[in-house]
């Protein structure tokens, strides 16, 4: 049997549509077996993650069946301390 471990960081994504909810997921810093890591929990890496997530919901993407899902906000949180490591918010134009 395998063992359970708590990842050090989690990423919380908030869709622009307030009626949708996404489950927080693990933020992997390094490669975990065959799963590539996301890098250090920085704003730059979080921005790349969000851009890839939004692109995956466009036609032809791996999540296209969900329909385009714009992201309003995202953050990386240290699971053990609750410290906010990076915070991203979509720029608004007025």
Position 93 scores a pLDDT of 55
pLDDT at 18: 84
Average pLDDT over residues 57-69: 91
**How confident is the model at residue 21, as a pLDDT?**
85
List pLDDT tens digits, range 1-51.
677 888 899 999 999 988 888 889 999 898 777 778 889 999 999 999 999
Q: Which residue has the higher pLDDT, 83 or 21?
A: 83
Instruction: Read off the tokens for 63.
Output: 């999540």
What number of other Cβ atoms are within 10 A of residue 27's Cβ? Answer: 25
How is the chain split into domains, by residue range? 9-89
Single pTM value for the model: 0.85
- For residue 37, give both structure tokens: 């890591």
Please name which of 71, 31, 80 lies closest in space to residue 53, comparing C-alpha atoms: 71
């Amino acid at each position: 049997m395998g063992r359970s471990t708590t990842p050090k960081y989690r990423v919380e994504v908030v869709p622009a549509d307030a009626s949708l909810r996404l489950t927080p997921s693990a933020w992997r810093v390094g490669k975990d077996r065959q799963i590539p890591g996301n890098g250090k929990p920085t704003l730059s890496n979080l921005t790349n993650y969000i851009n890839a997530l939004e692109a995956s919901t466009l036609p032809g993407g791996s999540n296209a069946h969900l329909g385009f899902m714009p992201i309003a906000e995202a953050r990386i949180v240290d699971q053990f301390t609750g410290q906010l490591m990076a915070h991203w918010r979509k720029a608004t134009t007025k």
